[in-house]
Amino acid sequence: MNDLFAFISDPDRLPVIWANYVSIGAFVVLAILVWLIPRRLIFADAKDQAAWRDIRWWATALIALQLTIYATFN
């Protein structure tokens, strides 16, 4: 087990920029999954079906912000 942790602790094998790529990839996958959730579940018992109540848009804005952060600070 310690050999495994030594392997993933080697900065030559795992350069730090990969961390930004992994984060960006994870957020892109998350954005796709968010939009796969059926609309009827999002609005469940909402007062009305106004566009601003679709929290998938909120999630998308949030993910866009995170993508900007991880693309900038590298």
Partner 1 sequence: MHTLDLLIIIGYLLLIVFVGLRLSGKVNNAHDFFLAGRSLAWWVIGLSIIGTNIGADSYIGAAGNAYNVGIAQANFEWIGAIPAMILASLVFIPLYWKAGVYSIAEYMGLRYSQAVRVLAAAITVVVAIFAIGVALWAIALTLQTYLGWPIWLGIMVTGTVVGLYSVAGGLAAVAFTDTLQVIIMFLGGLIIVGLGISQTGGMTSFAETLIAENPTHLQAYLPADHEGFPWPAVILGLGVVLSPAYWCAGQAILQRSLGARSQWDASAGMMFAALGKSFVPLLVVFPGLLALVMHANLEYPDMALPWVIKNVLPPGISGLMFIAIIAALQSTIDSGINSTSLLITRDIRHVLMPNANRDNDLKIGRYLTIGILLLAMCIAPLISNMGGIYSFIQTMLSLFQGPMLALLLLGAFTRRATPTAGLFTLLTGVPLAAVIMASGVNMLYVAFTSFVYALAALWIVSGFTAPSTQDLSKLTYFPWLSRTTPGAPAAAEPQAPTGEPRP
* Contacts to partner 1 from residues 8-27, by CB under 8 A: 8-11, 13-14, 16, 18-20, 22-23, 26-27
| CB-side neighbour CA atoms (13 Å) of 53 | 12
Q: H helices within the chain, ranges in order?
A: 2-7, 17-36, 39-43, 55-72
Binding site for partner 1 (CB under 8 A): 1-2, 5, 8-11, 13-14, 16, 18-20, 22-23, 26-27, 30, 34, 36-38, 40-47, 53, 55-56, 58-59, 61-63, 65-66, 69-70, 73-74
